[in-house]
Homo-oligomer: A and B are copies of this chain.
Amino acid sequence: MQILPVAFVCLFLAVITWAQRPQHCTSPPLLVGSLSVLGPKGDLGAYGKYTYDALGRRVRFFEVGSYKNQSFQVDLLMLFREGVLYEINWQNHTCTKKALKDHFQPLEVPKNATLLGQVILGGSSGFGQGLLVNTWAGEVPEIEAKYMTTFTEFGCLPVSTLYHTEKTGWVVLSYFNILIGIDDPQVFFPPPFCQSAELAGTTDFFGAFF
């Protein structure tokens, strides 16, 4: 007859412990922010800004950088609901419109990611000196990549992602200056010179970047 209370206490403790562990989480649906990309051999460096709308399933992404001493610039508008991607060239005022193969991928800790641990970036001895984050690891079979990704414990905001493929080595993405909300919803309108663009080929989310 004493087994039941003991089992109940054990179950209660198990639930408490489980609840204290970081949970797979999804970022807020509306975000603006910046990111930097650094390649393993120092031959890739880039800085980008994005506007992210998980409600409308659309992303605008602008990036400048250099790869093997060649500078580049990309401006992508991804409208997953319509299934199209615009590559916008502001210098020539031209537009390449492609069909987007895959579905919208919300910004989240992937469901199959494994928790590596929870740490405080910086420290916790003084106010404003640290950030509580969770780091997760996993694989993306589609591009044969391993990754480690870090999200804030409070707010579930991305902090960094390290991708590794045999081809690229480790690529470090750092996310920063994130604001919840969207400052200008018009970034999701294709510019006027894109109106006449015809579908030219197909791409997917990763294909648009690599």
Specify which chain B residues have a CB less than 8 angstroms from the CB of A103 in the assembled complex.
none
Given that A40-B40, A178-B130 are known contacts, is A123 also in contact with B157, CB under 8 Å in the complex? Answer: yes
Question: What is the oligomeric copy number?
Answer: 2
Option from B120, B123, B174, B177 in Cβ contact (under 8 Å) with A123: B177
Find residues 113-152 in chain A having any chain B CB closer than 8 Å to their own CB.
Answer: 119-133, 146, 152
Specify which chain B residues have a CB less than 8 angstroms from the CB of A180 in the assembled complex.
123, 125-126
A38 CA to B38 CA, complexed, in Å: 14
Specify which chain B residues have a CB less than 8 angstroms from the CB of A119 in the assembled complex.
34, 176-177
Some 10 contacts from A to B, beta carbons below 8 A apart, are A40-B41, A122-B158, A123-B155, A123-B177, A124-B178, A126-B155, A129-B154, A129-B155, A130-B131, A169-B169
Which A residues are within 8 Å of any B CB, using their own CB?
A: 31, 33-34, 38-42, 119-133, 146, 152-155, 157-159, 162, 164, 169-170, 172, 174-181
